[in-house]
Amino acid sequence: MMTIALSDTGKRFNREWIFRNLSYTFHAGKTYAITGPNGSGKSTLLQALAGALTTSAGKISYSLQGNAVEPETVYRHLSIAAPYLELIEEMTALEFLAFHEKFKPLHPSLTLLEILKEVGLEKAANKQVRFYSSGMKQRLKLAQAIFSDTQVVLLDEPCTNLDAAGIVLYQELMGKYANHRLIIVSSNDQQEYHFCETTISISDYK
């Protein structure tokens, strides 16, 4: 089980601090929401937690079963879905998940087609992603993140482009597959983080 600890962490672009003086520990098996207005820095913090951005101050440390995890190997233990992350549109959904699985294992008890069925994409399994609607693409992003066999799941505005049925599906997936994992949701929409046990306002760290 993975724990993520921030110590006096901050990130700035030029002279503007996006967040700073953030000391917090995200505990394994818990669910957290990072909230705040649009443009407040939620996504920046999530990318820093994912190891995709270096911080300007302080440090972020990771531990697995009490043992330190080197930052360059953290990606093996977490998955992320975000509006700014692109899919490989020339691939079909099945090809995309198979390609992803070469780098990061997927849910061990489900086949690729069963994963696509879980997110309502089984009928489009062999269709190129470039022919998907924006909502279908978001469902595939969620499938890639939620069904990766990882300790940590990071979700940035996870209901982006989803219709009402897609939002219900997302909520069902989190109820079914979020247990015993560290879940961090970046959002200002309660539909996306209603299940989270703890809420952190990015505005408190300006």
Cβ(145)–Cβ(80) under 8 Å? yes
Distance CA 42, CA 33 (A): 10
Q: Tell me the average pLDDT across 42-67.
A: 94
pLDDT score of 91 more than 90: yes
Give the confidence band of 179 by pLDDT, cuts at 50, 70, 90. confident
pTM of the model: 0.94
User: Tokens for 14?
Assistant: 């030029």
Question: Per-residue DSSP letters for 103-123?
Answer: TS-B-TTS-HHHHHHHTT-GG
Closest among 119, 57, 68 to 93, alpha carbons compared? 119
pLDDT at 197: 95
| Beta strands 78-81; 67-69: pairing state | unpaired
94-120 per-residue burial string, b: 16 or more CB within 10 A, e: under 16: bbbbeebbeeeebbeeeebeebbebbe
User: pLDDT band at residue 39, thresholds of 50, 70 and 90?
Assistant: confident
Q: Residue 190 CB: number of other CB atoms within 10 A?
A: 11
Averaged pLDDT of the chain? 95
Domain architecture of the chain: domains with CATH: 2-205 (3.40.50.300)
